Amino acid sequence: TQLLEQSPQFLSIQEGENLTVYCNSSSVFSSLQWYRQEPGEGPVLLVTVVTGGEVKKLKRLTFQFGDARKDSSLHITAAQPGDTGLYLCAGGHDYKLSFGAGTTVTVRA
Amino acid sequence: SAVISQKPSRDICQRGTSLTIQCQVDSQVTMMFWYRQQPGQSLTLIATANQGSEATYESGFVIDKFPISRPNLTFSTLTVSNMSPEDSSIYLCSVEDRTVGYTFGSGTRLTVV
């Protein structure tokens, strides 16, 4: 059973467009993390959010944690081909991570 | 942040055989985690390995199939035993880094033929 639901599953956009990936759960998490994974590599941490309502910005990436700490979103502004990859959200609870199914993002040049 | 070296990076194995995957961390860590990522899917936690005690397995994973060693605070191994094609996956180790969260190795891509 997947505790974290990610949507959409696939996203293909043109360079310069914006995109948003959603991560939702019925469970409350002590922290929520976003990763990007490229083929042949392990996931690389992008950000950790821990406070309900928290918004973090990392250059063109904006991460938001819901007030109830059950959902999160990742927004990319002016996407570039280098943003292509599998985006995974993961909820932390009792030192373990539960992962969403992932969103495959393709940015076309 | 912690740096993880995982090997082998990939292997092709015959069904019925076993493969041991190694994970080396450049700093001492209390817990190490082993994940499986089946083709086109997300990561599923197999077990948590603590030094000096038996690993704790998640539902659906058993020690006979996935024995784990944790001889010290910087090293762990995962063995995939009596392999079948259904075991073809990417296997990843991970550690919790207090400063940056969880760090992952680059994974072992296993193909069972």
> Within 10 Å of residue B88's Cβ, how many Cβ atoms?
17
**pLDDT at position B97 over 80:** no
Does B106 reach chain A within 8 Å, measured CB to CB?
yes
For chain A, residues with pLDDT lower than 50 are 1
Which among A35, A42, A101 is the nearest to B105, CB-wise?
A: A42
With CA atoms as reference, report the closest residue to A64 among A54, A76, A77, A51: A54
* CA atoms of B32 and B78, how far apart (whole Å): 11
Tens digit of each residue's pLDDT (9 = 90 or more) over B30-66:
899 999 999 888 899 999 998 888 899 999 999 999 9
Does A10 reach chain B within 8 Å, measured CB to CB?
no
Alpha helix stretches (DSSP H) within A52-108 = none
A65, two tokens:
């944690």
pLDDT of residue A96: 81
Q: Return the residue matching tokens 């072992």.
A: B108
Does A68 reach chain B within 8 Å, measured CB to CB?
no
